[in-house]
Structure 1
């Protein structure tokens, strides 16, 4: 993944993870695996775990410790009402930005008029 892609992803990864949790609750490794299935193959597990700590601290998810066959209990993250509100805001912002960026892209690909 190039530097520009990495930087853009940093700004959107929280929304992407909240969107995954809106589909179904998950634990850290599961979230990383689901991200990779969606094509985000270069995301490090540590990045996801750090993000999960932040969204838990901000009260966007509920956390339940579930016993694991291997090792300590797993923390399962579930999107809560505050997280759903945050996700709605993310999608609204994403739609606005995507529309504006697409508009700029479209205008930059138009043939220039003579005299411009």
Structure 2
């Protein structure tokens, strides 16, 4: 599925390079502060967001990997979880790497 924008969607007076932050329904919960990140191929969910959905660390498939944060520092994931994600009429099973660290976002969706 392709998400695109035309001239009517943008602000013609101000040019910016900010990230796209949206709300997204994940596992029947409306998750706010979802960052759409260009150039990343991984979908990341932060442990606090997972717990706010009523899920626990026991629901995570233990498969630790190393992810690199915006600052370039390595962070070990707790594992993976696959959850239904709904956007504009499309339901997808999405695999998230779960990370336990502070973040301004609940989820980061990668778009390689």
Same fold (TM over 0.5): no
Query: Shorter chain as normaliser: what TM range?
Result: under 0.3
Q: Which has the higher contact order (CA 8 A, sep 6+)?
A: 2
Which is strand-richer, 1 or 2? 2
TM-score (norm 2): 0.26
